Amino acid sequence: MRFRSLLIIMLGMALAGFSVYASREFLQVQPATASVDPAAPALVSVVVAGQDIPFGSTIEAHKLTTIQWPADAVPPGTYRDYSDLIPQNGLEPRRAKRAMAQGELVLVNKISDYGEKVTIVQTLKPGNRAVAINVDVQSAVGGFVTPGDLVDILLTTSDAKGLRVNTILQNIRIIAVDQQADENQEQAMLGRTATVEVTPEQAQMLAVAQAAGRLSLTLRNMAEDDAPEDQPMESIRISDILREKTPDENPGPKQVVKVRRGAGDAQAVEIELEAEPKAEEDVN
């Protein structure tokens, strides 16, 4: 009887041990092996903006990050490592010559040299000029004109015939409002001056226009940047708005009636018709 009980116990322990061993082997996680597709393009590391970097801001390591980019599609002027961007050995920092959005590639033409001064002049196209004009809340579209916007410039003058408005320049880029040149600025800006990018000939026109009258700005749709060249617009006078009627120098034909007085001959008399006919009256 004891032998039989001992045999059952030993058999149970053996089954339990086998179950534990089998479970461990079944549940054990096998190391995964990644297979590399030989046809997949090679990737390289490139530096991008890790956050929005405003115009003129210093380039620092915490503002940057890297991403993987196909090696055969890397644009020219990219950076592969922070070492070419972060100053070493006491050098002055680099600065952003253009505003960069988070995730945007950091390119050579967007970054200054070490210690180089960054101003709005570096955003101008070759040969263009920066000119400041006086504005206020009304003439600057209620303060909604911000750096990077496109505008038309209107000149209002006064002469003997009254007020007159001319559109003197079209499709002009705003590069700064007062001292603010950040094109990522989205809030209304109540500035006193607006700096615009113009050609040398347009700069002369603005100088004369500011002395001749009052300048106003009108906002344009940004999609019109690549639109065909604008056509000249005719000037508008106050009389064109009020639509005043001038005396009619060539009135139409008048009605002629013949009147006989007593036994004399009949005479032709011209009369003007009234706006509304009156009731007939007896004439004795």
- pLDDT at residue number 260: 63
Q: Which residue has the higher pLDDT, 175 or 12?
A: 175
DSSP β-ladder status, 129-134 and 150-159: unpaired
64-85 CB burial, b ≥16 within 10 A, e <16? bebeebeeeeeeeebbeeeeeb
- pLDDT at residue number 143: 75
Ranked by mean pLDDT, the top range of 82-91, 217-226, 228-237, 273-282 is 82-91
The pLDDT mean for the chain works out to 78
Confidence check: pLDDT of 207 > 90:
yes
Q: Which residue has the higher pLDDT, 227 or 177?
A: 177
Q: Which residue in 169, 173, 167 sits closest to 125, CA to CA?
A: 173
* Reduced DSSP (H G I as helix, E B as strand, rest coil) percent helix, strand, coil of the chain, to 5: 25, 30, 45
Q: Where are the alpha helices (DSSP H) in the chain?
A: 2-27, 200-212, 238-242
Tell me if 158 sits within 8 A of 136, measured CB to CB: no
Confidence check: pLDDT of 201 > 60:
yes
- pLDDT at residue number 209: 92
- pLDDT tens sequence across 129-149: 999 998 887 777 777 888 888
> pTM of the entire structure?
0.55
Cα–Cα distance for residue pair 203/174, rounded to 1 Å:
14
- pLDDT tens sequence across 25-80: 555 545 555 555 666 678 999 999 999 988 888 999 999 999 999 988 899 999 99
Cα–Cα distance for residue pair 82/64, rounded to 1 Å:
8
- pLDDT tens sequence across 23-33: 665 555 455 55
Cα 215 to Cα 36, 93, 118, 212, 228, distances in angstroms: 65, 40, 29, 9, 25
* Cα 107 off chain centre by: 22
Q: Which class for 164: exposed (0-12), middle (13-18), buried (19 or more C-beta within 10 A)?
A: middle
- pLDDT tens sequence across 95-131: 998 888 899 999 998 998 988 888 777 778 889 999 9
Q: Which residue has the higher pLDDT, 177 or 19?
A: 177
Tell me if 237 sits within 8 A of 161, measured CB to CB: yes
- pLDDT tens sequence across 215-267: 999 888 877 655 556 677 788 888 777 766 655 556 556 666 665 666 666 66
Q: Which residue has the higher pLDDT, 159 or 251?
A: 159
Confidence check: pLDDT of 13 > 80:
no
The CATH class, in words, for 41-118 is alpha beta
Confidence check: pLDDT of 272 > 60:
no
Where residue 284 falls among pLDDT bands split at 50, 70, 90?
Answer: very low
